[in-house]
Amino acid sequence: MAQIKIYGLKSALGGHQREISDAIHAAVVESLAMPLEKRFHRFFALERDEFFFPADRSDNYLILEISLFEGRSVETKKQLIRALFDHLNGAGFAPHDVEITLFETPRASWGIRGQCGDELGLSYKVEI
């Protein structure tokens, strides 16, 4: 499981959500071996007076917060981060303008489709 929040300026996100989502999803599928149908993205388009960031970032500055089941290796997580930078760069968002935080939680801390996360039968592996 990977729930992804994408924060950015409304002017940068406007009309580009599908392209950004496609880039993020390609990185997640590639790095975490997630099934194609497992896309969980939420966009937070902020006005300039709601989103403060360093002066050395452009208006394309994005923050990604990714909640994951724990269990991936350090190398797998690094591979995901590198793939996100690469795919988002291809979508017009320079690596310097992207910040990523991974939040890992035990599967028992998730509730999904009426079940506890550690009781779900998954169609993919988490321990990679």
Confidence grade of residue 124 (pLDDT, cut at 50, 70, 90): low
Lowest-confidence pick of 38-47, 55-64, 115-124: 115-124
Give the separation between CA 26 and CA 29, rounded to whole angstroms: 5
* Mean pLDDT of the 41-60 span: 97
Q: Which SS3 state, helix, strand or coil, does residue 46 take?
A: strand
Kindly state the tokens that stand for 97: 């303008």
Q: Report if pTM > 0.85.
A: yes
| Domain 2-51+73-119 in CATH 2.40.50.140 | no
Report how far residue 96's alpha carbon sits from residue 53's, in angstroms, rounded to the nearest whole number: 12
Confidence tier at 109 by pLDDT (50, 70, 90): low
Secondary structure (3-state) at 52? coil
Burial label for 123, CB within 10 Å (0-12, 13-18, 19+), is exposed
